[in-house]
Amino acid sequence: MKKLLIFLALVTILNGCASKPASVDGDSTEAAVSGIGSSDSNNKQSISKTLDGEIKFFPTYDEKYKTGSNEMYDFWFDIPNEWKAADQSADGSEYTIFTDNDKVLIKISGEMITEPEDEYYTKLAGNSGTITDFTYRDGWVGKKIGVSGTETWYVRVDGDSYMALHINAADQTEWLKQNEEKLSYVAMSERTTKESYGKGMDGENSVTLDDLQFGSVKLDMSYDELMKVLKQKPDKEEKEEYEGLEARTLFFADNTQIYVVDGAVYSINVTSPGYVTPRGLKVGDSTDRLIELYGEPDSKEDENHWGYNYNGYEVFTIIVEDGKVKEMQVDLVM
């Protein structure tokens, strides 16, 4: 069970990065997805791209989707694992999303507000378009602008700028019908925070972000910070790299496993009683003690797998055996 918990995240990341747009051929595909010609392809401090200029994607808690960001306008969005996105703009403000149909044009972008909003929406709609309210998954209300039966804009205001998704499917009406759910998911996902969508978002949180650590080992700390805290190097390290995104699992002498993605701690799995949660739980404690500290779990895959949620995501996982805590894991919220 332990290796399954840790490596499930690895499979999600690699699956999310591995697919190439099926309809774009040869060198043009590689040039597009590597960000050639984009303004910050050489920006070594980029949050949203690799050193090679490719857009970074991270796993979401919906295994069918992955999440990426636009650094220039500071927004995040989700796309299906099999789709790709590339920065083909001159200034990094706009990404092109590649599907399995090269006749469908999808772009997601940021743009400064330079005119009254109503005038901007009317300009996008044209002479016969429609403008209606559109509610994003985080509750923000923007606009859905139907230019025609196969062309739509989704626009939301973020301070002094717009975030916009433009879908132009030309004559691909059948493709639109087949991919309606995916397109709706992408449109609703556009947001200003990295955190993505999970089930039960409206429910109360069983744990807080401060709960997601064992002793001094915390999620999202850098690899260097981790080494300073542990004061030991791993006995073994397994690395995986795909298109510039490095993922590695660190194995320690006490059977602790720590999963590091892009230089930051993404997941921590412990079986040693030497690690204590902020509320005082440790491996070896009884399930009565677990319930006393955290309450009943939000989910039970079976009697041995207990899950506690934050904003709808299972971020604190407990494996119990014979009425005692056998294993604990915390995962980074996306």
Say if residue 218 is in the same domain as residue 298: yes
Say if residue 49 is in the same domain as residue 172: yes
Q: How does pLDDT run across 184-217, given as a tens digit for each residue?
A: 999 999 998 766 555 444 456 788 888 999 999 9
Q: How does pLDDT run across 267-310, given as a tens digit for each residue?
A: 999 999 999 999 999 999 999 999 999 998 888 877 889 988 88
Say if residue 64 is in the same domain as residue 115: yes
Instruction: Report yes or no on 143 lying in a domain.
Output: yes
**pLDDT of 65 over the 50 cut:** yes
Instruction: Report yes or no on 197 lying in a domain.
Output: no
Instruction: Report yes or no on 198 lying in a domain.
Output: no
Instruction: Report yes or no on 203 lying in a domain.
Output: no
Say if residue 135 is in the same domain as residue 88: yes
Out of 155, 189, 223, pick the residue that ends a domain: 189
Instruction: Report yes or no on 63 lying in a domain.
Output: yes
Out of 158, 189, 220, pick the residue that ends a domain: 189
Say if residue 144 is in the same domain as residue 227: no
CATH code of 227's domain: 2.60.460
**pLDDT of 16 over the 50 cut:** no
Count the Cβ atoms, other than its own, within 10 Å of residue 196. 24
Say if residue 136 is in the same domain as residue 21: yes
**pLDDT of 311 over the 90 cut:** no
pTM, entire model: 0.53
Instruction: Report yes or no on 196 lying in a domain.
Output: no
Q: Distance between CA atoms of 112 and 225, rounded to whole angstroms?
A: 38
Say if residue 174 is in the same domain as residue 278: no
Out of 189, 218, 245, pick the residue that ends a domain: 189
Q: How does pLDDT run across 167-182, given as a tens digit for each residue?
A: 999 999 999 999 999 9
If one counts the domains in the chain, the total is: 2
- Residue 196 is predicted with a pLDDT of 57
Instruction: Report yes or no on 234 lying in a domain.
Output: yes
- Residue 64 is predicted with a pLDDT of 86
Question: Is residue 86 helix, strand or coil?
Answer: strand
> If you average pLDDT over residues 316-324, what whole number do you get?
94
From the list 200, 176, 184, the residue with the least C-alpha distance to 80 is 184
Say if residue 176 is in the same domain as residue 215: no
CA 299 to chain centroid, in Å, comes to 22
What number of residues does the chain have?
A: 334
Across the chain, how many H-helices and E-strands are there? 7, 20
CATH code of 58's domain: 3.40.1000
Q: How does pLDDT run across 88-107, given as a tens digit for each residue?
A: 899 999 999 999 999 999 99
Say if residue 180 is in the same domain as residue 217: no
Which residues span the domain enclosing 228? 209-331
Inter-residue contact 83 to 91 (CB < 8 Å): no
Say if residue 169 is in the same domain as residue 289: no
Tokens of 214: 């064992």
Say if residue 297 is in the same domain as residue 237: yes
Instruction: Report yes or no on 199 lying in a domain.
Output: no
Say if residue 184 is in the same domain as residue 215: no
